[in-house]
Amino acid sequence: MKGRNFRGVLFIFWIILATLSAVWILFSVIFDVNLILTETIYQFVLLISCLSLIIATISIHEMLTNAKNKIIDQKIKEKNVRDVYRYQQLLNPPAADMNN
């Protein structure tokens, strides 16, 4: 349970970081183009924001892909168990069905 909560908090953190970065980039490009072109600190902050957006997007994609793969693996395991059970039922049918 502890790892599950941590992953949930981490996922929410990356979502918030990606959203804030995207909004800041959009706001800066629309309203403060002159500041970005003239001030080095704004260029640095824009670069950091772009990098954090890229990292957050990649992390979110990785988390979703891992979750999807775990679900697929679980379904494959369940299907295999069902197939083994059906095979055992085929080899050893219940005694009640034999008394027809």
pLDDT at 97 over 60: no
Nearest residue to 51 via CA among 76, 25, 27 = 25
Residue 16 CA to residue 77 CA, distance in Å, equals 35
Task: Choose the weakest-confidence range: 9-18, 48-57, 87-96.
Answer: 87-96
pLDDT digits 0-9 by tens, 16-72: 888 888 888 888 888 878 877 888 888 888 888 888 888 888 988 998 899 899 999
The arithmetic mean of pLDDT across residues 81-89, rounded, is: 91
pLDDT digits 0-9 by tens, 63-83: 889 989 999 999 999 999 999
Query: Which DSSP state fits 90?
Result: H
In the structure, what pLDDT confidence band is assigned to residue 99 with cuts at 50, 70 and 90? low
Coil, strand or helix: which one is 93? coil
CA distances from 25 to 16, 31, 36 (A): 14, 10, 11
Model pTM above 0.75: no
